[in-house]
Each structure stands twice: as C-alpha cells, then as structure tokens.
Structure 1
Amino acid sequence: MGVRLEGLFPAALLPLLLTMILFLGPLLQLSMDCSWDLAAALKVALAPQAWARCLTDMRWLRNQVIAPLTEELVFRACMLPMLAPCTGLGPAVFTCPLFFGVAHFHHVIEQLRFRQGSVGSIFLSAAFQFSYTAVFGAYTAFLFIRTGHLIGPVLCHSFCNYMGFPAVCAALEHPQRCPLLLGYALGVGLFLFLLQPLTEPRLYSSLPLCLLLDRAGESATPLCS
C-alpha cells in the first residue's frame, strides 16, 4: 500500500518537486500578482499563528489534508494493487482515474441543490472536472507505481488542490504575458524531460506493485523500468 519508511525522503521530495516544475507558469503568475515580497511571504507562511488558523479551518483541512490522504489511499494504495494483477499496470493506471473522476460528481448534486448556475453549465463544469481529475489521477497512479510510496501522491494532491487549475486565460491577458507564457511552456517542457529521471524506481528502493506482478507471472512492464 506504499506505506513504508525505506526511501521515504526522496519519495516525499522528488514527486512534489516534479509537480511544482509542471506548475512553474502558475507559480510565476502567482508571484507576479502577489503584492508581498518573498521575505514577507515566507515570514507569514512560517508563522505559528498562520498554521493555527489553517488547522482550525475545516475547509483547509478538507482540501489540503483529508481529501488528499483519503482519496490517494482509496484510489491508489487500495485500488491499484487489486487491479494490477488482473489488468496489468498500464491499464490499471488509466482505469483507477475513471473511478476517481466519477467520485467528484457529488459536486453536481451540491450545485443543483443550491442552484449555482444553469443545468447545462453545471454538467459542462462536471465534465471538465472529470477530465482533469482523471488526468491527474493517472499521474498520481504513475507516481505510486514508480516510487512504491503513498506519500508522493498525497503531497502532490495537496499541492494541486492549493494551486487549482492553471488560469491560462488570465495568463493570456496578463500585462507580462510573454515571460509568463514562457514560464508555462518551460514548466511543461521540463516536466516531460524530468518525468522519467525523477521517478526512476532505483531512487526509491523496491516496488511493491512490480513485485506483485512478478509473483502473478506477468511479464516485465516499462512502467517499472
């Protein structure tokens, strides 16, 4: 289930670093639009009072702690090891995220109940959310298989919940559009370039899912090498 101490430090650091590289454009955009300088922002972020407010905010706890932990535990740590021996790792990576995407459809019920838009716009929003949550689910499933740890997907999930979907339209209309779009492109390019090296299985010791497939008599999969 990816809960182990061996290789814990790289499993916590490297997948999060990889995800932050992907969000290079949005992070640059956030820094441009923030009125605080870096020193002031770090002072506020590290202040005990700020963390105390976060830990007493149920919405923050849900988005940054509870949802990432429980969803990754269910859809990655529990579901992937059960699917992989039956379907192989590749199909399992793309099957689990479908369940993960459908699990977010409860937002449709909330929006319909509180009439937060027309029926068509609500379902269009749900379809869009299903699409990007499925893509994100495939990414964290890939991380789980390659690293053999749960901590990386949980931290990446929490980070992405904080960042939200990249505001590409706002970036296109931004006063500093050119360097911002360059940051977006550079982030995506570096992410694709570093995806395999930073998730190299040898950095994280043994891989439970690959060992599970070996015992089931499956052939070696490129995801594990």
Structure 2
Amino acid sequence: MESVVFTLDFWQAVLLCLLFAVIYVGSLYAWVNNGNRTRDHPEIIKRRFVSVGVVAFVVPPLLWCFSSYPTSTNLNGRTLFEWLGLRFTGLIPALFVPLFLTMVLFAGPLYLHYIDGVFNLYLEPKYWSNSFKSLIWLRNHLVAPFSEEFIFRACMLPVLVPSIGEWSAVFCCPLFFGVAHFHHMIERVILGQQGFKDGLKQSIFQLFYTTIFGAYSAFLFLRTGHIVAPVIAHAFCNHMGFPPFSEVMAHQQPGRTKIVFFFVAGLSAWLILLFPFTSATIYSNEVYSL
C-alpha cells in the first residue's frame, strides 16, 4: 500500500470528523424500531453490531479519499493502515502496557473489588462463559470499544493532528466523542425512561467523563501508534465504570483510610508512569510524534 499524507485545513478536518460522527451515530438508528424497544433489547443490539461493522468498513476508504501523496515539502507519508494504528511492530507491548497503566489509575476501585470479593468472581469459568453469551457484555467490552475507538480516534486523529498539532488534537478529538453520546439522552426521553431534565443532567455528566476518557484514549493512540491500546483501555474502563467515590464514605474506619490511600496512590503512580510507559520506543512508534 502506498504512503499518503493528510493536509486538510482545520475547518475541513473538523467537518470531516463531524461527518464520521454523524455516520456512526446515524447508523445506530438506521433500523426501524418496532415497539419502542430499548438499546438493551437483543434485536436492537444485533442490528447495531451490523451497523457499526458496516461503518468500520465504509469510513476508512472515505478517509483515504481526503489524503494526498507525499511531496517534497511533506515527506511524512505513511500507509493508511499505519495512520489507523493497524501495525504489527510494537503490538505485544501495546496489548499489555497501556492496560496495566490504566489499572494503576483504577487502583482504588480495584481495591474495592478486592475487599468486596469481586475478584473471586473473575476466577469462575462460568462467569466468563456467561459473559461471552451476553450481548450486552459483548457490546460493552468488545464491539463498542473497538468501533468507537476506531472511528473517533483512529479515523479522526490522522486528519486533526496535521491541521492543529498533536496536543490540540488530544483535547479536540474527544469533543466529537463526548457530544456523540447525547443520542443516549434523546433515546431515553423518547422512550419515556427519563424526563428531559434528568436525561439532560445525566448526559452532561456523561459528556464530562467521556470527554476526559477520550483525551486519555487519544493520548494513548498517539503515543503508542496502535489502535489496540485505547481499545483495551476502553474495554477495561467500561467494565469498571465511573469510580464509585460515594462508596468510599460508606466504609468505616480504619478501612476507609486504606481505600482513600489506594485511590490517591493509584492516581499518583499513574501520573508518574504515564509518559515512561507510553514512550514511543516501547511501541516502535514512528507514525505520530506526541
């Protein structure tokens, strides 16, 4: 495959990213929903699996249409697969190191899992067999992490980075991801599951933490040059959910102090390890230079 470059202006890159976001979210509603079935209905989940699968095949060729060949003034050409983070070199560390880094960040919630006995559940083969039979589990841990990271990171960052730079792209790219999640509010309100005000509050909160995670995910993608790094981190974060800070106060002393220690220690260790554990040399990343 020939090397290509992306040289879009900022407004062109933003419009292209908006197009990708509209295609992704729009595909979820391309099917007729008879009976006002929720997003967790098995038939709706299966249809959306098909939708996002089609989108994952359609968007990369569309992205390629906006590329150009390297010139004497822009020699930083890569194949489309490399721009998308689909590489073999550095793949093994990309599978494990970012996951470990994310687990360090979640040291507090993981400790809560430990004292609540949740870890014992992970050792049960039946837990895993039942999980892989659950469409909701497959959606949250496999299909959604891959499809969302592929469209909102791998297909957007190649056009945003050349136009606004790596660090600006890290904080700009998640906005498309966060705003796209507002479709959940519309769905819940239309189906009568929530009132408008409650749905708006929940969606604003969701916008807040999905945007923060999106920045971290974009950072992982640019630092490692691998799509698997943010995908696995995304799956892990979906499994853990938002850190249960309120649960900490429900514990009595001295246990509460120990839990707070793990929360603080995890965040501190993550900040210390963030750049060393995402060094480009670990992942043979010559595609991006964040």
Q: Are 1:97 and 1:134, in contact at CA under 8 Å, matched by a contact in 2?
A: yes
2:86 maps to 1:27: no
Which residue is 1:219 aligned to?
none
Which residue is 1:162 aligned to?
239
2:123 maps to 1:43: yes
Which residue is 1:123 aligned to?
200
Equivalent residue for 1:91, pick from 154, 168, 176? 168
Q: Deviations over 1:36-69 (max 9, x none)?
A: 6x5x44530xx2x443322221101110000000
2:174 maps to 1:65: no
Q: Are 1:108 and 1:122, in contact at CA under 8 Å, matched by a contact in 2?
A: yes
In 1, the alpha carbon distance for the partners of 2:122 and 2:116 equals 16
4+ residue runs of structure 1 moved beyond 4 angstroms?
none
Q: Which stretch of the first structure deviates more once superposed, 115-124 or 2-11?
A: 115-124
Q: Are 1:147 and 1:207, in contact at CA under 8 Å, matched by a contact in 2?
A: no
Q: Deviations over 1:41-99 (max 9, x none)?
A: 4530xx2x443322221101110000000000001111000111111111111111000
Q: Which amino acid aligns with 2:260?
A: L
Point out the structure with max Rg over C-alpha. Answer: 2
Which residue is 2:98 aligned to?
15
Structure 1 residues 113 and 208: CA distance shift in structure 2, 3 A: same
Structure 1 residues 82 and 112: CA distance shift in structure 2, 3 A: same
Q: Which amino acid aligns with 1:6?
A: T
In 2, the alpha carbon distance for the partners of 1:116 and 1:181 equals 35
Q: Are 1:146 and 1:207, in contact at CA under 8 Å, matched by a contact in 2?
A: no
Which residue is 1:183 aligned to?
262
2:181 maps to 1:104: yes
Which residue is 2:76 aligned to?
none
Structure 1 residues 174 and 199: CA distance shift in structure 2, 3 A: same
Q: Which stretch of the first structure deviates more once superposed, 61-70 or 25-34?
A: 25-34
Considering only aligned residues, what root-mean-square deviation do their CA atoms show, in Å?
1.4
In 1, the alpha carbon distance for the partners of 2:197 and 2:108 equals 31
Shift of 1:196: 0.7
The sequence identity of aligned pairs, in percent, is 44
Q: Which consecutive residues of structure 1, in runs of 5 or more, have no partner in the other structure? A: 211-222
Q: Which amino acid aligns with 1:179?
A: K
Shift of 1:141: 0.4
Shift of 1:139: 0.3
Q: Which consecutive residues of structure 2, in runs of 5 or more, have no partner in the other structure? A: 1-83
TM-score by length of 2: 0.68
Equivalent residue for 2:155, pick from 78, 91, 109? 78
Q: Which amino acid aligns with 1:136?
A: F
Q: Are 2:132 and 2:138, in contact at CA under 8 Å, matched by a contact in 1?
A: yes
In 1, the alpha carbon distance for the partners of 2:127 and 2:245 equals 29
Structure 1 residues 131 and 158: CA distance shift in structure 2, 3 A: same
